[in-house]
Protein backbone atom coordinates (compact mmCIF):
# COMPACT_ATOMS: atom_id res chain seq x y z
CA UNK A 1 0.00 0.00 0.00
CA UNK A 2 2.98 2.32 -0.25
CA UNK A 3 2.47 3.14 -3.93
CA UNK A 4 -1.02 4.50 -4.58
CA UNK A 5 -1.34 5.87 -8.09
CA UNK A 6 -3.89 8.60 -7.50
CA UNK A 7 -3.08 11.77 -5.60
CA UNK A 8 -5.83 12.84 -3.21
CA UNK A 9 -7.89 15.89 -4.07
CA UNK A 10 -9.13 16.08 -0.49
CA UNK A 11 -7.82 18.39 2.18
CA UNK A 12 -4.95 17.18 4.34
CA UNK A 13 -5.64 18.88 7.66
CA UNK A 14 -2.73 17.38 9.61
CA UNK A 15 0.36 15.58 8.37
CA UNK A 16 3.05 15.05 10.98
CA UNK A 17 5.70 13.96 8.50
CA UNK A 18 5.27 17.01 6.24
CA UNK A 19 4.59 19.54 9.03
CA UNK A 20 1.04 20.35 7.90
CA UNK A 21 -1.39 21.75 10.48
CA UNK A 22 -4.38 23.75 9.21
CA UNK A 23 -6.08 25.86 11.87
CA UNK A 24 -9.85 26.29 11.99
CA UNK A 25 -13.23 24.72 12.69
CA UNK A 26 -14.29 22.23 10.04
CA UNK A 27 -17.25 20.00 9.16
CA UNK A 28 -17.22 17.06 6.79
CA UNK A 29 -15.96 13.50 6.60
CA UNK A 30 -12.57 13.22 8.31
CA UNK A 31 -10.29 10.27 8.99
CA UNK A 32 -7.72 10.82 11.73
CA UNK A 33 -5.02 8.26 12.42
CA UNK A 34 -3.36 8.57 15.81
CA UNK A 35 0.14 7.34 16.56
CA UNK A 36 0.63 4.44 18.95
CA UNK A 37 1.01 0.70 19.10
CA UNK A 38 -2.38 -0.01 17.54
CA UNK A 39 -2.93 3.27 15.70
CA UNK A 40 -6.38 4.35 16.86
CA UNK A 41 -8.62 5.75 14.11
CA UNK A 42 -11.28 8.43 14.45
CA UNK A 43 -14.11 8.86 11.94
CA UNK A 44 -15.57 12.32 12.48
CA UNK A 45 -17.77 15.03 11.01
CA UNK A 46 -16.45 17.77 13.30
CA UNK A 47 -12.88 18.96 13.69
CA UNK A 48 -11.56 21.92 15.68
CA UNK A 49 -7.88 22.88 15.35
CA UNK A 50 -7.02 26.07 17.22
CA UNK A 51 -3.99 27.29 19.18
CA UNK A 52 -2.26 23.91 18.99
CA UNK A 53 -5.25 22.06 20.45
CA UNK A 54 -7.16 19.52 18.36
CA UNK A 55 -10.73 18.59 19.34
CA UNK A 56 -12.27 15.69 17.42
CA UNK A 57 -15.80 14.36 17.93
CA UNK A 58 -16.62 11.06 16.30
CA UNK A 59 -16.29 7.30 16.29
CA UNK A 60 -13.03 6.06 17.78
CA UNK A 61 -11.73 2.63 16.76
CA UNK A 62 -8.90 0.97 18.63
CA UNK A 63 -7.91 -1.58 21.25
CA UNK A 64 -8.40 -1.61 24.99
CA UNK A 65 -6.93 -4.42 27.10
CA UNK A 66 -6.21 -6.33 23.91
CA UNK A 67 -9.82 -6.16 22.66
CA UNK A 68 -11.15 -4.09 19.77
CA UNK A 69 -13.68 -1.36 20.48
CA UNK A 70 -15.55 1.41 18.70
CA UNK A 71 -17.29 4.24 20.51
CA UNK A 72 -18.51 7.76 19.93
CA UNK A 73 -16.79 10.38 22.03
CA UNK A 74 -14.84 13.63 21.92
CA UNK A 75 -11.03 13.65 22.16
CA UNK A 76 -8.95 16.67 23.01
CA UNK A 77 -5.37 16.33 21.80
CA UNK A 78 -2.84 18.87 23.01
CA UNK A 79 0.20 17.39 21.31
CA UNK A 80 0.02 17.24 17.52
CA UNK A 81 2.72 14.54 17.62
CA UNK A 82 -0.04 12.21 18.80
CA UNK A 83 -1.57 12.41 15.30
CA UNK A 84 0.00 10.78 12.26
CA UNK A 85 -2.39 12.43 9.82
CA UNK A 86 -5.92 13.76 9.41
CA UNK A 87 -7.55 13.94 6.00
CA UNK A 88 -10.94 15.10 4.76
CA UNK A 89 -12.56 12.59 2.43
CA UNK A 90 -13.59 13.77 -0.99
CA UNK A 91 -17.38 13.89 -1.31
CA UNK A 92 -17.24 11.96 -4.58
CA UNK A 93 -15.49 9.07 -2.82
CA UNK A 94 -18.00 9.12 0.06
CA UNK A 95 -20.87 8.99 -2.45
CA UNK A 96 -19.26 6.11 -4.35
CA UNK A 97 -18.68 4.19 -1.12
CA UNK A 98 -22.29 4.71 0.01
CA UNK A 99 -23.72 3.68 -3.36
CA UNK A 100 -21.69 0.46 -3.40
CA UNK A 101 -22.76 -0.77 0.03
CA UNK A 102 -24.45 -4.15 0.20
CA UNK A 103 -27.87 -4.20 1.80
CA UNK A 104 -27.64 -4.91 5.52
CA UNK A 105 -30.30 -7.61 5.00
CA UNK A 106 -28.16 -9.53 2.50
CA UNK A 107 -28.44 -13.06 3.89
CA UNK A 108 -24.86 -14.30 3.53
CA UNK A 109 -23.01 -11.45 5.23
CA UNK A 110 -21.61 -12.01 8.71
CA UNK A 111 -22.40 -9.03 10.93
CA UNK A 112 -21.10 -8.69 14.47
CA UNK A 113 -23.09 -6.99 17.22
CA UNK A 114 -19.90 -5.60 18.75
CA UNK A 115 -16.73 -4.42 17.06
CA UNK A 116 -14.45 -7.45 16.82
CA UNK A 117 -10.85 -8.14 15.89
CA UNK A 118 -10.17 -10.92 13.40
CA UNK A 119 -6.45 -10.27 12.99
CA UNK A 120 -3.80 -8.49 15.08
CA UNK A 121 -0.04 -8.54 14.59
CA UNK A 122 1.85 -6.48 17.17
CA UNK A 123 4.83 -7.02 19.42
CA UNK A 124 2.62 -7.43 22.48
CA UNK A 125 -0.24 -9.52 21.11
CA UNK A 126 -1.21 -11.70 18.14
CA UNK A 127 -4.74 -12.66 17.11
CA UNK A 128 -5.69 -14.67 14.02
CA UNK A 129 -9.28 -15.78 13.51
CA UNK A 130 -9.06 -15.84 9.72
CA UNK A 131 -9.46 -19.61 9.49
CA UNK A 132 -12.73 -19.29 11.40
CA UNK A 133 -14.17 -16.79 8.89
CA UNK A 134 -12.58 -18.20 5.74
CA UNK A 135 -14.98 -18.19 2.79
CA UNK A 136 -17.50 -15.91 4.51
CA UNK A 137 -18.55 -12.39 3.50
CA UNK A 138 -17.61 -10.10 6.39
CA UNK A 139 -19.28 -6.75 6.91
CA UNK A 140 -17.54 -3.41 7.54
CA UNK A 141 -13.82 -4.28 7.72
CA UNK A 142 -11.32 -1.64 8.83
CA UNK A 143 -7.61 -2.37 8.62
CA UNK A 144 -4.29 -0.72 9.44
CA UNK A 145 -1.15 -1.70 7.54
CA UNK A 146 2.36 -1.97 8.94
CA UNK A 147 3.34 1.10 6.92
CA UNK A 148 0.53 3.17 8.53
CA UNK A 149 -2.01 2.90 5.73
CA UNK A 150 -5.75 2.69 6.34
CA UNK A 151 -8.28 0.45 4.56
CA UNK A 152 -12.00 1.12 5.06
CA UNK A 153 -14.03 -1.51 3.24
CA UNK A 154 -17.65 -2.43 2.80
CA UNK A 155 -16.93 -6.17 2.68
CA UNK A 156 -14.05 -8.57 3.20
CA UNK A 157 -13.65 -12.14 1.97
CA UNK A 158 -10.88 -14.44 3.20
CA UNK A 159 -10.26 -17.36 0.86
CA UNK A 160 -8.91 -20.79 1.78
CA UNK A 161 -5.33 -19.59 1.15
CA UNK A 162 -5.82 -16.64 3.54
CA UNK A 163 -5.86 -14.16 0.67
CA UNK A 164 -7.70 -11.02 1.79
CA UNK A 165 -10.04 -9.37 -0.70
CA UNK A 166 -11.55 -6.03 0.30
CA UNK A 167 -14.57 -4.89 -1.71
CA UNK A 168 -15.54 -1.23 -2.24
CA UNK A 169 -12.70 0.10 -0.15
CA UNK A 170 -11.23 3.52 0.61
CA UNK A 171 -7.42 3.34 0.83
CA UNK A 172 -5.34 5.99 2.55
CA UNK A 173 -1.56 5.93 2.89
CA UNK A 174 1.77 7.47 1.94
CA UNK A 175 3.58 7.07 -1.35
CA UNK A 176 7.34 6.69 -1.76
CA UNK A 177 7.74 10.45 -1.26
CA UNK A 178 5.74 10.25 2.02
CA UNK A 179 2.86 12.24 0.52
CA UNK A 180 -0.58 11.18 1.79
CA UNK A 181 -2.72 9.72 -0.97
CA UNK A 182 -6.23 8.34 -1.17
CA UNK A 183 -8.03 6.16 -3.69
CA UNK A 184 -11.17 4.10 -4.02
CA UNK A 185 -11.10 0.50 -5.23
CA UNK A 186 -14.08 -1.74 -6.07
CA UNK A 187 -11.96 -4.68 -4.98
CA UNK A 188 -8.35 -5.13 -3.94
CA UNK A 189 -6.31 -8.06 -2.63
CA UNK A 190 -4.07 -7.21 0.32
CA UNK A 191 -1.33 -9.59 1.53
CA UNK A 192 -1.73 -10.60 5.15
CA UNK A 193 1.92 -9.82 5.86
CA UNK A 194 1.26 -6.11 5.22
CA UNK A 195 -1.48 -5.79 7.85
CA UNK A 196 -1.21 -4.81 11.49
CA UNK A 197 -4.85 -5.44 12.29
CA UNK A 198 -8.32 -6.02 10.87
CA UNK A 199 -11.44 -5.19 12.84
CA UNK A 200 -15.09 -5.60 11.87
CA UNK A 201 -17.27 -2.72 12.99
CA UNK A 202 -20.22 -3.81 15.08
CA UNK A 203 -23.87 -3.35 14.20
CA UNK A 204 -24.16 -0.72 16.94
CA UNK A 205 -22.42 1.75 14.62
CA UNK A 206 -25.01 1.55 11.84
Residue 165 has pLDDT above 50, yes or no: yes
Instruction: Summarize the confidence of residues 149-158 as an average pLDDT.
Output: 92
- The b-or-e profile of 123-133 (16+ CB within 10 A means b, else e) is eeeebeebeeb
Predicted local distance difference test score (pLDDT) of residue 4? 36
* Domains detected in the chain: 12-88 (2.30.30), 91-205 (2.30.30.100)
Give the helix/strand (H/E) hosting 94.
helix 91-100
Residue 10 has pLDDT above 50, yes or no: no
Predicted local distance difference test score (pLDDT) of residue 15? 93
The sign one gets for the Cα dihedral 70, 184, 27, 77 is positive
Give percent above pLDDT 90 in the chain.
44
* pTM given for the model: 0.85
Predicted local distance difference test score (pLDDT) of residue 94? 66
Instruction: Summarize the confidence of residues 171-184 as an average pLDDT.
Output: 89
How many CA atoms lie within 13 Å of 28's alpha carbon, on the beta-carbon side? Answer: 20
Predicted local distance difference test score (pLDDT) of residue 190? 93
Contacts of the segment 71-80: beta carbons below 8 A, 24+ positions apart:
75/42, 77/34, 77/53, 78/52, 78/53, 78/54, 80/14, 80/16, 80/21, 80/52, 80/54
Give the helix/strand (H/E) hosting 27.
strand 24-34
Q: How far is CA 122 from CA 37, 73, 142, 193, in A?
A: 7, 26, 16, 12
Confidence of residue 13 (pLDDT cuts 50, 70, 90): very high
pLDDT by residue (tens digit) across 131-150? Answer: 888 888 888 999 999 888 99
Amino acid sequence: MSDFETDTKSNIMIDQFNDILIQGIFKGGFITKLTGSTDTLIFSDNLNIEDGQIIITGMHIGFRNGKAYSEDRTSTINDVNGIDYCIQLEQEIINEFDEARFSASYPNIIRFLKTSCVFLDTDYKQINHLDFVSGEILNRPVAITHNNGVIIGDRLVVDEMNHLIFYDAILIGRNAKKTIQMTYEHFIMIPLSSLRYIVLLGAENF
